[in-house]
Amino acid sequence: MAVYFFDSSALVKRYAQETGSEWVIATTEPQAGHTLYIARITAVEVVSAITRRRRSGALSETDAATASFDFRYDLSHQYRAVEVTATVIAQAMELVVKQALRGYDAVQLGAALVVHNLRVTLGLPAFVLVSADRELNAAATADGLTVDDPNDH
């Protein structure tokens, strides 16, 4: 069993079919037994991505409703949501300057780094950051995180 931190660009692949979806689905299945962290803002971003796909016609009304329902269920039952605290925001502001990240990408990475630092302090194994965003992945790697891009699977 592994520990993963999913950003929105990767997690949406569980609910809308695209490159890397099969790997994300297999990795996030409850039977896989993995621990899955997300930033709390991921909830807004995933629902937004599903809604945008519905509006563009990439997802039918029925498929979008199912995806939204499934995500909300998983949010309540499977993901460990990291709150966007003052510590996460301070970390994100530093990342914007240091790594030139977009705002929400910096919050995603800030949340991941807060979890990473806590796990290191507690002597727990490191996690893998899963993201389909190349800029975010480069910044995370520069900050010492292990990264996996679902588009590579």
Of 44, 111, 117, the residue nearest 80 (C-alpha): 111
* Model confidence pLDDT, tens digit, residues 107-126: 999 999 999 999 999 999 99
Q: Could you give all domains of the chain from N- to C-terminal order, each with its CATH number?
A: 3-152 (3.40.50.1010)
Q: What is the pTM of this model?
A: 0.96
Phi and psi dihedrals of 54, rounded to 5?
-65, -45
pLDDT digits (tens, 9 = 90+) for 42-88: 999 999 999 999 999 999 999 999 999 999 999 999 999 999 999 99
